[in-house]
Structure 1
């Protein structure tokens, strides 16, 4: 059951079209919707992709795609696509206030509940393919969310790390394939690597190095922590992968879900919404898992 702090979806009046040439959103007239559910924010500025709602709700509000006119929820045109971005639920190290980065830590029971809640909100959206990072907290979030989907398709992780792994995980039933959704894992979608901060308590680190220094490591765009990645470095790998692997699905009219992390998702939103380096550092995900949905016709 949703808590009193659940957020309603906001429908933007803007519409966008996937453009294969620039691999981004292109404005156009029409009735496509951009919806956000969760608690992301961009300072006081509303982003084209991220709009935070301040309206509390005691009932989960599933997101609906534009109807095809016959009461269903399938897209109105074959060229329509949806992009769903989900930040993972609370991890065990989130709970302990530790820098996690690329350390592979699972969800807490609260994180499991958050992932299930996220799934309820997207249960009416057809999903053709799922991308996650290589980290278990993102994969758990994706799997738990899909267990709530009304179409009851089974998410199956694709093992393409070797020819043998691919061969051994083959499915030989066409009917079973139709009832499955491929889940593709990619290290490029991982959280940014926090270097020598990984495993350290955030408050103790601030006490040791000073709040300003730690804030600079965490929130600046191009300053990495010791032997770690900056947001800029994280964006280079995440956006390159997004352009190469995910954009083609969207251009083809597929509905894609990406379950990943605060910084890799910020990087993708920065690319799609053409945010500056000053704007993207203000973009935050306040409550895991946050959901961003973009629909283009």
Structure 2
């Protein structure tokens, strides 16, 4: 029985382009983001992959990325489950702020700590640890059982919600996952064992 799980970060958003902290805000995809999503679908089509169920977040940039991928695969009607458990990390008071302006206001070192420490949240927001604490229970209870049952699953979400999943799947430490960059619109193809462990991984980033 095949145990297929594909993770893909949404294509470039309007706020990615402007270098803003986005979090739970809901900007759309740029033209480049749309192209990245279509290219992701093309890569999966070239691998002759198809899916039985899709998961995405409550935010339109992930939903639209998934929609474009499924169009490329000819799977527009695929069952799709949306849940805010898969939303991006909440950046709290930093949300909507330009990253360079944040460094000027709070200092380079403080912003670096907020962005790149595992368990220090920005004011009013979530750390990566807190993000993982909502993503991973959802994965274990909702997504993993589908994969184990033989369903081919695709998850379209965000840099940090997907980092939490990659950390779990690949058994990475907090330090290791913080160094892991996930490209926009680049699928990661996992094949799992009957127990849900990673048998192989293929990163389709260019």
TM normalised by structure 2 equals: 0.90
In 2, distance between residues paired with 1:290 and 1:264? 15
Does 2:131 align with 1:234? Answer: yes
Find the residue that maps to 1:249 and give its secondary structure. helix
Q: For residue 145 of structure 1, what is the aligned residue in structure 2? A: 69
Moved beyond 3 Å, runs of 4+: none
Find the residue that maps to 1:147 and give its secondary structure. helix
Find the residue that maps to 2:79 and give its secondary structure. strand
Structure with the higher helix share, 1 or 2 = 2
Q: For residue 110 of structure 1, what is the aligned residue in structure 2? A: 32
Q: Which of 1 and 2 has greater Rg?
A: 1
In 2, distance between residues paired with 1:131 and 1:233? 20
Instruction: Say which of 154, 161, 184 aligns to 1:264.
Output: 161
Q: For residue 187 of structure 1, what is the aligned residue in structure 2? A: 84
TM-superposed deviation, 1:153 = 2.5
TM-superposed deviation, 1:276 = 1.0
In 2, distance between residues paired with 1:223 and 1:282? 16
Q: Any stretches of 5+ residues in structure 2 without a counterpart?
A: 194-206
RMSD over equivalenced CA pairs, Å:
0.9
Matches within 5 A, 1:158-197: 180-197=77-94
TM-superposed deviation, 1:296 = 2.8
In 2, distance between residues paired with 1:245 and 1:269? 16
Task: Write the deviation string for residues 26-76 of structure 1: whole angstroms up to 9, x where unpaired.
Answer: xxxxxxxxxxxxxxxxxxxxxxxxxxxxxxxxxxxxxxxxxxxxxxxxxxx
Task: Write the deviation string for residues 189-236 of structure 1: whole angstroms up to 9, x where unpaired.
Answer: 000000000010111111221111111101110000001000000001
Find the residue that maps to 2:78 and give its secondary structure. strand
Matches within 5 A, 1:67-146: 79-123=1-45, 124-146=48-70
Q: Any stretches of 5+ residues in structure 1 without a counterpart?
A: 1-78, 155-179
Q: For residue 187 of structure 2, what is the aligned residue in structure 1? A: 291
Does 2:113 align with 1:216? Answer: yes
In 2, distance between residues paired with 1:147 and 1:153? 6
Find the residue that maps to 1:122 and give its secondary structure. helix
Does 2:167 align with 1:243? Answer: no
TM normalised by structure 1 equals: 0.63
In 2, distance between residues paired with 1:105 and 1:244? 29
Q: How many matched pairs? A: 191
In 1, distance between residues paired with 2:50 and 2:70? 11
Q: For residue 169 of structure 1, what is the aligned residue in structure 2? A: none
TM-superposed deviation, 1:187 = 0.1
